Structure 1
Amino acid sequence: MLLTPGEFLSGCFFILLCVACSSQLSLSPEEASQFLRRPKRANQVFEETKQGHLERECVEERCTKEEAREVFENDPETDYFYPKYLACVEKFGEKKKGDLVTCVHNIPDQCSPNPCNHQGTVRCEDRKGEFLCHCFTGWTGLKCEEDVNECSKGNGGCDHECTNSMGSYHCSCHNGYALSGHHTCLDIDECEDSPDVCGTAQCRNLIGSYECLCETGYVYDNETKTCQDVDECESRVCEEECVNTPGSFRCFCDGRQGKKLRQDLRSCESIEPCLALDMKRNSRSLYLGRMFSGIPVVKLRFRRRVHTGFTAEFDLMTHDSEGVIFFAGGHLNSSWIVLAIHQGKLELQLKYGAVSRVTSSGPLVNDGQWHKISVEEQGRSLVIKIDKEAVMKIAVNGDLFTLKKGMHELNLTVGGVPFKEDGLVNKVNPRLDACMRDWRWLTGEDSSIQETIRNNERMQCYHSEDHSSFYPGHGFAYFNHSHGDTQTLSIQLTIRPTSTMGVLFALVRQDHVPLSISLSDYHSGKKAWNEYILVSFGDVTVASAAVSLCDSDTHTVNVTVSGNSTILEVDGQQGMTEFVENLEPLDLSSSYSTFIGGIPDVSLVSTPVSAFYTGCMDVTVNGQLLDLDEAQHKHNDIRSHACPLVAQTSESKNVIRAE
């Protein structure tokens, strides 16, 4: 129950009276009344009718917290002021001095020092025991320290793009538009701003863009900014690729898909071989050069409960002068041996712990003949034999087998090493174009290898081979150099083709073929059908020779390019150099990529012939024979140093066909 003020005072008087009676304490009526009242100072009436003055209350004389409250008339500001006031008095004394006056007068100002973020604040407002930061547009937060992302709401009012920045933002427009004011994007009339934007054509403005228009029968060319005649190729007069020419057109067929142009000069037909090769395989032989990447063609792991000495025996036939035959041992940092061919001779590389060694000896083995090779551990020696004659005996101190969980293990790879070639003691190209048969590893024959080879013809060697590179009619070899160090480019090709179509040699730069040497059964410049060797700059033939090459003989083609001169010779007979008006000479100082046996996926119209070459070929540039094992890329079916022989007539069923 709430008491009225009168009831409360009556109760107090009653209590005091009881206390006085019980303790023998007597108070006069004046004293009792004074007990419930606070003494008032001289200017009491003025202070109660007007807010207390800080100077009078707390500077001229020391004030209590209640007197300080009369100055501020609120608790928060009083609670903030009074502890700091006592600190001023303690520091400067109670007497009115300049330091005390300054100290006391500075206490109530919440904005001194300014707590607001200077960059985002208009002004600081002092409030009762606190402050208020008034922010510039684009800022928010208690101290105006937070940027407002205007773009998050309604895209900032921008028509297209809104970009937020600290305390602000700006609008931008898409291509074809310009900013009007701060938010609006207006279409740019490109036809008015740039009268020559379409050249000789008519310009029509579009929303955000423009288009160039030509009269009926013409089409606009963006590069030349002119109207050109209508392309007849739009009516699909060609089966595959079509090229428009003034008043005519040319059709092309994709030779990389095994096609060539028919005699109607519009449709395409398959490229058929003109000569058969002996494509029979030996199912009990292993081709070591199948993987151009240099990874092994066979990987084996042997595990023995008891220690076994290493033995290997096999027959090898190759024309290659360098490559890895096999690796045996643990891993790169353990004991291992590598038997390789280097400069035509056997080379043994070994590593036993910290000891590394390279030994090469014996006769040349890259003569295209079969040689029986054996490697055997005899005590602490490795003995290598060629045709049962010892050619190397090397002392070793270690074991090729690695003991793991009670088992002796050995890894063996054929045609490569199980690590990068940089890990070899003597760096050699691991790719070896060679044939192996009658192999025995650790005195045994692995039947699983034989079964795998029988089921995969690509792992088998050809039945009969000659010393040359073989191009099967799909894929090419690629070298990343252009041979343009001199002012003259000399190219010699030794070929035995099995088709009348195919690229022999090409220099390529991006989507252009500045130089190509190819076989073709059609001369577009002469509009004549015959067997030709063509030398072309781009799609223009600059030299040609009409000669039949599908006769199973080997032919020599020489091409010399120097300035404006291009000379073609076939088997010593000079071909015809053709005059082409305004033809720029081949720039031998430029950088090109060299392609052998085909061209990459460039435009069909960049050269007269795009078909892959089929047959045998060796390439010499400026006196340097190109070794396909050194190429940056080579199709796995291209053989670097072995080419099948010509088949007998009765074996025509084995004619190779482009895949």
Structure 2
Amino acid sequence: MIPGSSVINLGQQTNTWRPLVKTTANLTDVRSIKSTFEFRTFDPEGVVFYGDNHCGEEWFILALHGGVPEIQIHKAYVMVSATGGPRLDDGQWHLMEVSTEGKFVLLEVDGSKALTVGLHSQKVDEVITGQLRLALGGILIDSSRLLVPFRPEMDGCVRAGRWLDLTEPWEMVEGGAELQPCLEAIRRGSYFPGSGFAVFNASTLNIEAPESRVDIVLDGDFAQMNGTLLSLRGGDNALALGVEINKHSQTMLFTYGKTEFTTATNSKKLRLIFRERFFSVSHDEESFMVASSTDQTLDESIWREGRLAIGGLLGEEEDAVGSNFLVGCLEKVVVQGKQLDMDLSAKDVSISSHSCPVR
């Protein structure tokens, strides 16, 4: 059981839509129509707070979309969605207040009105009985019922919550992992603590057949990292590329097909460029290594059938992984000019998609 005022890390989901924690109370016990809590994130999209009654017949969702608060409500025969207010994905703690005044649902941020949603239905109000369900970090209805679709994963934290003045504690949703603490201070980036990695199917990266080149750029302080930075395997599971950082020797080892070479880690930008059977590497925009291969596993099919892992070494079998996972903060990973969102990968629950600790 988790007290309602606890600090809760929402960014540790093992199931896309399932909430992290939830609580249930009788509607007749509700004495307040206001919830207040503090919220912090660098994540521009995801579920923050959910509530419903009558087992999901009527429901409310507070989420972020493009960094801005979004409210979706289903009540009686009415569905409504509204977006507005300040951007909240700035890594600062914000005081949030959600309340009801007559036919209006109000959202205040840091003491100022951010969003007002009006509701009206011809349906006669029923006697308020039954159970109320509240949840954080996910929803308790099928996502197909949403008026506006969005990605649910939220790398954020809440604290100091007063949830309708209910005394019932939060409980972990069945099958959830143990609660992870929130970082005391954060900065933008994806944090890999050394216990897992993030995997993308290459086909989801929408890379066209590389007639010219495929471009991958990674930003971060590589001298402060240790472990496998990146790996790439083809559809036949042959290792096409592995990049490993050794913090003690301050070197970066590249395994490209059957070729190996090393370089120093004293850079903040690493660029990998694939041109048919040629591969080049540059640090801070200065090219230093070009390799070539006749290996058939390195042709364009790898971008249709392969897998790209950030933070670990892909194994030969689907479930096999290397153990030298990355420890460190990647500020961003850009593939073909588009920044990767770790929330869209199959990743270990320990990885923070949008936030890194400030050391």
| Range of TM-score over shorter length | 0.7 to 0.9
Q: What's the CA shift string for 1:389-420, capped at 9, x where partnerless?
A: 11222222479x9868xx44211011000123
Q: Over aligned residues, Cα RMSD in angstroms?
A: 3.1
CA distance in structure 2 between the aligned counterparts of 1:331 and 1:560, rounded to whole angstroms? 55
Counterpart of 2:242 in structure 1: which amino acid?
Answer: S
Q: How does 1:212-361 map to 2 (within 5 A)?
A: 284-294=6-16, 295-305=18-28, 308=31, 310-330=33-53, 334-361=57-84
8 Å CA contact 1:505, 1:598 repeated in 2: yes
Q: In the alignment, what sits opposite 2:263?
A: 546
**Structure 1 unaligned spans of 5+:** 1-282, 522-528, 647-659
More strand, by proportion: 2
Match of 1:424 in 2: 146
Which whole-Å deviations, capped at 9, do the CAs of 1:426-482 have from their partners, x for residues lacking one?
Answer: 111111111111111013455x44999xxx973320111111001111221122224
1:634 equivalent among 340, 347, 350? 347
SS at match of 1:390: strand
Alpha-carbon distance between aligned partners in 1 of 2:335 and 2:55, rounded to the nearest angstrom:
38
Distance 1:443 1:500, change over 3 A: closer
Distance 1:599 1:332, change over 3 A: farther
Alignment map for 1:354-433 (pairs within 5 Å): 354-397=77-120, 407-433=129-155
Q: Which has a greater percent of helix?
A: 1
Is contact 1:489-1:588 (8 Å) kept? no
TM-score, structure 2 length as denominator?
0.84
Of 292, 312, 315 in structure 2, the residue corresponding to residue 601 of structure 1 is 315
Distance 2:291 2:30 in 1: 74
Q: Is the 8 A contact 1:284 1:450 kept in 2?
A: no
- Determine the structure 2 residue equivalent to 1:560: 273
Partner residue of 1:519 out of 228, 234, 245: 245
Give how far 1:577 is off: 2.9
Q: Does structure 1 residue 481 correspond to structure 2 residue 202?
A: yes
Whole-Å separation in 2 of the counterparts to 1:451 and 1:299: 7
Quickly say closer, same or farther: Cα 1:504–1:394, change in 2 above 3 A. Answer: same
Per-residue displacement from partner, 1:178-231 (whole Å, max 9, x unpaired)? xxxxxxxxxxxxxxxxxxxxxxxxxxxxxxxxxxxxxxxxxxxxxxxxxxxxxx
Equivalents in 2 of 1:307, 1:502: separation in Å?
A: 51
Q: Say if 1:536 and 1:289 are closer, same or farther in 2 by CA, change over 3 A.
A: same
Partner Cα separation in structure 1 for residue 171 and residue 79 of structure 2: 34
Task: Give me the whole-angstrom Cα distance separating, in 1, the residues matched to 2:257 and 2:195.
Answer: 22
- Tell me, yes or no, if the aligned pair for 2:54 and 2:130 is still in contact at 8 Å: no
Q: TM-score, length-normalised on structure 1?
A: 0.47
Distance apart, 1:570 and its partner CA: 1.4
SS in 2 for 1:305: helix
Given candidates 462, 468, 472, the residue that maps to 2:193 is 472
Aligned equivalent of 1:525: none
The partner residue of 2:181 within 449, 452, 460 is 460
Secondary structure of the corresponding residue to residue 313 of structure 2: coil
SS of the counterpart of 2:250? Answer: strand
Letter in 1 for 2:337: G
Tell me the distance in 1 between the aligned counterparts of 2:156 and 2:307: 28
Matched residue of 2:86: which SS?
Answer: coil
Partner of 2:230: 504
Q: 1:530 to 1:577 in 2, by over 3 A?
A: farther
For the residues of structure 1 that align with 2:29 and 2:172, how far apart are their CA atoms? 28
* RCO higher in structure (CA 8 A, sep ≥6): 2
Q: Distance in 2 between matches of 1:386 and 1:556?
A: 37
Q: 1:307 to 1:470 in 2, by over 3 A?
A: closer
Q: Structure 2 unaligned runs (5+)? A: none
Identity %: 25
Count of residues paired in the alignment: 339
